[in-house]
Amino acid sequence: MAERFLMKGNEALAEAAIMAGCRHYFGYPITPQTEIAAYMAKRMPKIGGTFLQAESEIAAINMVLGAASAGVRVLTSSSSPGISLKTEGLSYIAGSDLPCVIIDVQRGGPGLGGIQPSQADYWQATRALGHGDYFAIVYAPNSVQEMVNVVFDAFDNADTYRVPVMILSDGMLGQMMEPVSFPEREAKVLDKPWAACGHKNERKHNIINSLYLQPQELEKTVVDRFKRYEIIKEKLASAENYLTEDADIVVVAYGASSRIVKSAVNAARAKGIKAGMIRPITLWPFPVNAIADAAKTAKRFLCVEMSMGQMIDDVRLALNGAAPVDFFGRTGGIIPSPAEVLEQIEKLAE
Amino acid sequence: MTRNILLAGFGGQGILFAGKVMAYAGLIEEKEISWLPSYGPEMRGGTANCSVCISDDPIGSPLVLKPDILVAMNLPSYDKFINEAAPGATVVVDSTLVEKRTERTDINVFYVPATKLANENGLKGLANIICVGKLLKETGFASYDAVEAAIRKCVPAKKAAMVDFNLNALKLGMDN
């Protein structure tokens, strides 16, 4: 067995990013994600990388845009209000077809909200990570080990598809420590002929740009990008099925709340209730097929989130009326208890 | 088997460190573990607490609400959590700082004057590890060797001199 370390989710994300070949980090402190920046501040100078604490989130994301333009693997991280500030730059990054990875360690909102764990940024991450017609790939790990695994996928897929990739974490997953082992996986090195990294007069210069004043030209860039999105949808949508094969009630949950739901599903099984869970690992693309397939046997669905109900929209779209969907959530920084979720499952089983 | 552990006290009493030692002992014994701290305003002078799960199976919720092992190192923590302990729970209370005694008869409560013991034995600030020692003796949450190794792992290299003090505190807790 590979050596297991005890690490906070935030630290594991940072170490995995370095292992995946990231040598540039730009950020600005905010609870509960600051350990990522602190880890990078310690490590980057020792490995010839760049750690820079910018004067604001907006400055940091624009530094990401610059580094990504030069073709290097680059990371930024923040928490909910800070992500809102970064969305302008993210939209420019998407419009310029640049790869980068951005981590959101969610806290309660809206506004400055609170600093406790939340999942209230689902809509922002999957629908509105900035203005304009675009998506970002969104991963939602639910353990410290899975964080490590998705960081590699995030950097690889950002480069492959030239899109921003978000890792949507939260205060609970970021602050908790769990055993983690690091895979023996090489950072994938992709040739980036589009990068603006100096041409020594040996080729035509590359232009990184998101401004197109001719609508025909702009439409073409958007349509081309959406063709890539179709490939992404087909290849990357991912979910974990837990005890769904014979389940009457399927609970859908991601990230931190899926940990609570797993305990509740186990408790329901102990009481003889046929409950199971589908856990989306990618939120965009949403694992539509996993949900639709479960509807062939399950009678009811229950969506559990640390919000007032955001992912439930995608669950409903995936089900397309095939089964009724109920919702249970806590918000504002409250983590639901397994007992509360069990109560909801029991109500549906009656 | 799953042990759901909750440690609570003032910020600065080493609650998170004690939890980390227990979690590391579980890691050394190749168990599944999780360690979840409270963070935020509590850490700045109020109460700090920390959930630790040590299990043979993958851990679902890492948040411990009904602990079967509880350490309460100050009165607010005692008041908040003593009635949350699961029936049959093992509870260690720092009786130097908590004068109350519970009326519950369905839990095993050990009142250890941990802060006093620490001060009298030249182990100031190590009441937390005295409590861990008491828990080790009463619950066997891990082997002694694993806890000793965990302490060696958790004490930062810069403070290596603290290892022996921690081990003395551990033994003191086991003897009281």
- Look up the CATH number of the domain holding residue A338: 3.40.50.920
Residue A87 lies in a domain: yes
| Same domain flag for A149 and A270 | no
How many whole angstroms separate alpha carbon B69 and alpha carbon B89? 6
| Same domain flag for A279 and A330 | yes
Q: Quick one: CA dihedral A37, A42, A47, A49, positive or negative?
A: positive
Mean pLDDT across chain A: 97
CATH of the domain at A111: 3.40.50.970
Distances (CA, A) of A114 to A83, A118, A334, B60: 15, 9, 10, 25
* Res. B42: pLDDT tops 70: no
Residue A134 lies in a domain: yes
Residue A197 lies in a domain: no
The one-letter amino acid at A3: E
Chain B hits for A4, CB-CB cut-off 8 Å, are: 27
Residue A138 lies in a domain: yes
Predicted ipTM beyond 0.90: yes
* Res. A346: pLDDT tops 90: yes
Range of the domain at A71: 5-189+206-236
Chain A residue nearest residue B30, CA to CA: A4
Question: What percent of chain A stands above pLDDT 70?
Answer: 100
Q: Which of B44, B63, B66 to mutate to probe the A interface, most A CBs <10 Å?
A: B63
| Same domain flag for A124 and A39 | yes
State residue B131's pLDDT score.
98
| Same domain flag for A223 and A79 | yes
How many angstroms away from the CA of B2 is the closest CA of chain A?
12
State residue B176's pLDDT score.
87
Among candidates B33, B37, B40 on the partner chain, residue whose Cβ is nearest the Cβ of A178:
B33
Residue A284 lies in a domain: yes
How many angstroms away from the CA of B122 is the closest CA of chain A?
30
Q: Do A171 and B39 count as a contact with CB atoms less than 8 A apart?
A: yes
Each residue of A189-199: pLDDT tens digit? 889 999 999 98
| Same domain flag for A39 and A155 | yes
Question: Containing H/E element for B154?
Answer: helix B144-154
Query: How would DSSP label each residue in A113-148?
Result: --SSB--TTHHHHHH-SSSSS---EEE---SHHHHH
Please tell me the total count of domains within chain A. Answer: 2
Query: Helices A80-95 and A57-69 meet at what angle, rounded to 10?
Result: 30
Position A246 confidence tier, pLDDT thresholds 50, 70, 90: very high
Taking CB atoms and an 8 Å cut-off, how many pairs form between chains A and B? 61
Higher pLDDT, A3 or A161: A161
Each residue of A298-308: pLDDT tens digit? 999 999 999 99
| Same domain flag for A276 and A306 | yes
| Same domain flag for A150 and A213 | yes
How many whole angstroms separate alpha carbon A167 and alpha carbon A153? 10
Residue A93 lies in a domain: yes
* Chain B residues interacting with chain A (CB cutoff of 8 angstroms): 20, 23-24, 27, 32-37, 39-40, 59-63, 65
How many whole angstroms separate alpha carbon A306 and alpha carbon A313? 14
Chain B hits for A261, CB-CB cut-off 8 Å, are: 60
Each residue of A170-216: pLDDT tens digit? 999 999 999 999 998 888 888 999 999 998 888 899 999 999 999 99
Domain locations in chain B as residue ranges:
2-175
How many whole angstroms separate alpha carbon A69 and alpha carbon A77? 18
State residue A159's pLDDT score.
98
Sheet holding A249-252, edge to edge: A239-242, A275-280, A249-252, A300-305, A325-329
How many angstroms away from the CA of A24 is the closest CA of chain B?
28
Mean pLDDT of the A98-106 span: 98
| Same domain flag for A19 and A106 | yes
Chain A hits for B62, CB-CB cut-off 8 Å, are: 172, 176, 178, 259
Residue A195 lies in a domain: no
How many angstroms away from the CA of A18 is the closest CA of chain B?
23
Mean pLDDT of the B17-28 span: 97
Q: Which of A278, A306, A17 is CA-nearest to residue A151?
A: A17
Entry pTM: 0.96
Q: Do B33 and A263 count as a contact with CB atoms less than 8 A apart?
A: no
How many whole angstroms separate alpha carbon B40 and alpha carbon B48? 9
| Same domain flag for A153 and A294 | no
Only one residue has tokens 């590890």, namely B129
| Same domain flag for A247 and A224 | no
- For chain A positions 254-283, those within 8 Å of chain B (CB to CB) are 259-264, 266
| Same domain flag for A286 and A216 | no
State residue A109's pLDDT score.
96
A322, burial (CB in 10 Å: exposed 0-12, middle 13-18, buried 19+): middle
Question: Containing H/E element for A78?
Answer: strand A74-78
| Same domain flag for A214 and A277 | no
Mean pLDDT of the A256-273 span: 97
Which of the four CATH numbers 3.40.920.10, 3.40.50.10310, 1.20.1090.10, 3.30.70.1140 does domain B2-175 have? 3.40.920.10
Residue A332 lies in a domain: yes
